[in-house]
Structure 1
Amino acid sequence: MIDVFGDRSFFAILTPGHTKGHTSYLARTPEGPLLMTGNVSHTRWGWENDVEPGSFLAERDHARESLLALKALSERHPKMTVKLGHQP
């Protein structure tokens, strides 16, 4: 995880799988933490059921690892809002 601005307000998280250099983001907002998954999970159903984006992957094993890592992060922070790649 990289602290983009050096003030702990916005982080880039390497989440390969959909593409080799895919990145997700975590922002600290006044409303609480906001996780933007990008294409780690396209849909709410996929997120809730631990399903990576099917055949739209560069590397299936890495995609699964990235999905599970972000899921674990969100579970450690239950008040975190999660925004998915193709759905609210």
Structure 2
Amino acid sequence: MNRDLFRCVGSARVFLGATVGLGVLVAGATIAQMVLLAGVVDRVFVGGAGLSEVGRLLLLLVGASVLRSGLLWGREVTAQRGRCG
């Protein structure tokens, strides 16, 4: 067996676990983002709400979007650092 490969596996496990964990968090942030968007669309188009009534939901939607992009960035960084070689 290749000794370099075995040496690389130990550190790659940590990065792989972090990448998978961040991927799960990204999925949660995506679901939150879609639920908030659906709430805004429902209240505006079905309920006839104005901007003042959905302002809080829009701010939460922006927050979920920023959180998701940060998590995606972190996932990409950990995936790249977990490479062997």
Same-fold call, TM cutoff 0.5: no
**Structure of higher RCO (CA pairs closer than 8 Å, 6+ residues apart):** 2
Q: Which has the higher strand share?
A: 1
> How high is the TM-score relative to the length of structure 1?
0.32
Structure exhibiting the larger radius of gyration computed from Cα positions: 2
